[in-house]
Amino acid sequence: MTDVTHSNSAIRVLVADDSAFMRTALSRMIASEAGLEVAATARSGSDALQKIASTDPDVVTLDLEMPGLDGIETLREIMKRFPRPVIVVSAAIEKDSEIAFNALSAGAFDYIPKQISDTSLEISHIRSDLIVKIRSAGSHRRTLPHSTPNKKPVESTSIATCRQTPVAPEIVAIGASTGGPRALQELLPQLPGNLSVPILIVQHMPVGFTAMFAKRLDRLCSISVREARDRERLQPGVAYIAPAGIHMLVKQPSHDSQTFISLESSYCDTPYVPSVDVLMKSVADVYGSRAAGVIMTGMGSDGAEGLKAIHDSGGLTIGQDKASCVVYGMPRVCARLGILTSVLPLSQIATELIQATAHQRRA
């Protein structure tokens, strides 16, 4: 199948799987749904890369067990050369959750276990899940900014300080999406266990993975890392991961009361749940200039409004640089808006946060 003429409104999908049966079965599921169409199919990783270049699909479904270039390497190449939502559809995930983490770290938008038995190749049971996730992924890609503003984006790997932060950060809010799991596994272990501030993290991730991801990070870090709980009071030296499928905010009922986490589902206008914007706006409302925000690798623009709120309140704002991002989308938008105090490679973000709090303690 080639893409010569197609509907601008339809979500176009490339199906990559080494099994002819699977390519046909998945293609039939997709093509039978209104608003979806199959742009092409691919039988290997290298074939998928060629087809993406020639057909420019909105979404890719990708098997992990393919000859030649395997699924994870193919995924990394897609993120490097043709960033777009990739849904991993693989039996390997059902056998080994570590593979799912590797796929998410490499930039997968979501995943679907095939759950194929030894006696049956029937996969009709994944149909509803597949269609829902393709629609979500297609909508996600269409929120990506396509225009080029007049302001040149900051892409330097050196510190690009716009102004001095007047007060010490008392909280850090971090937002990440595509490539975020791997980036967080590099950033958080660099932070000391006696860090004087709490960290709140929104990482776009499939439902069911945030608790396991938090436990994984906790084993790697000196700080404590856990999935956030509703009404939980914030503690220094603890990183709270927003549960998938619900928004995380901070609240402070009165000036002299302790800040706590609120998990809410009432923000209907946000395309992402949880939303970096929702978290960071709440952090700016409660902490003002005493807040720090970090925007990391990811597609789209989630976090731009929230980081602007922190910036406008006088807080510290840090963007991951282009070279160290799996996808330079979310930080690029913030750089173009001119709301970043610093643009840093991933390897320097922890140092910047540590120095900001240490400097203010000495002061």
Do 193 and 262 reside in the same domain of the chain? yes
Q: Which of 47, 110, 302, 321 is catalytic?
A: 302
Count of domains for the chain? 2
Q: What is the pLDDT of residue 173?
A: 98
Is the residue at 149 inside a domain?
A: no
Q: Is the pLDDT of residue 156 over 70?
A: no
Q: From residue 28, give the alpha-carbon distance in Å to each of 11, 21, 63, 110, 113.
A: 15, 11, 17, 20, 18
Domain check: are 184 and 330 in the same one? yes
The reply to whether 214 falls in a domain is: yes
Above 50 in pLDDT, residue 149?
Answer: no
Q: Is 186 helix (H, G, I), strand (E, B) or coil?
A: helix
Catalytic one of 204, 247, 301, 311: 204
Amino acid (one-letter) located at 250: V
| Domain match, 123 and 230 both | no
Do residue 233 and residue 137 come from a single domain?
no
CATH code at 250? 3.40.50.180
Query: Which secondary-structure segment (H or E) carries 144?
Result: none
The answer as to whether 185 is a domain residue is yes
Active site residue 204: yes
pLDDT, tens only, 212-255: 899 999 999 999 999 999 999 999 999 999 999 999 999 998 87
Residues 191 and 315 in one domain: yes
Q: Is 302 a catalytic residue?
A: yes
* DSSP string for 297-331: SBSS-TTHHHHHHHHHTT-EEEEE-TTT-SSBSHH
pLDDT in tens, 7-55: 468 999 999 999 999 999 999 999 999 999 999 999 999 999 999 999 9
For the chain, give the mean pLDDT.
Answer: 86
Question: Is residue 125 situated within a structural domain?
Answer: yes
Concatenating the DSSP letter of every residue in 227-238 gives E--TTPBP-TTE
* Residue that is last in its domain, among 141, 158, 188: 141
- Single residue among 91, 119, 141 that ends a domain in this structure: 141
Q: Active-site residue among 90, 177, 324, 342? A: 177
The domain boundary residue, chosen from 141, 162, 196:
141
Q: What is the band of 270 on the pLDDT scale with cuts at 50, 70, 90? A: confident
Mark whether 115 and 32 lie in a shared domain. yes
Looking at the domain assignment, is residue 3 inside a domain?
A: no
Q: Which helix (H) or strand (E) holds 215?
A: helix 210-220
Q: CA-CA-CA-CA torsion for 161, 166, 169, 175, nearest 10 degrees?
A: -40
CB 180 within 8 A of CB 297: yes
- Domain-located, residue 198: yes
pLDDT in tens, 107-123: 888 888 876 544 445 67
Catalytic residue list contains 321: no
**Alpha-carbon dihedral of residues 99, 33, 272, 342, nearest 10 degrees?**
70
pLDDT tens digits for 298-339? 888 999 999 999 999 999 999 999 999 988 989 999 999 999
Looking at the fold, whether 131 and 203 belong to one and the same domain comes out as no
- Same domain, residue pair 340 and 286: yes
Task: Please state the pTM of the whole predicted model.
Answer: 0.79
**pLDDT at residue 116, as a whole number:** 57
Same domain, 198 and 263: yes
Residues 37 and 132 in one domain: yes
Domain holding 312, by residue range, is: 171-362
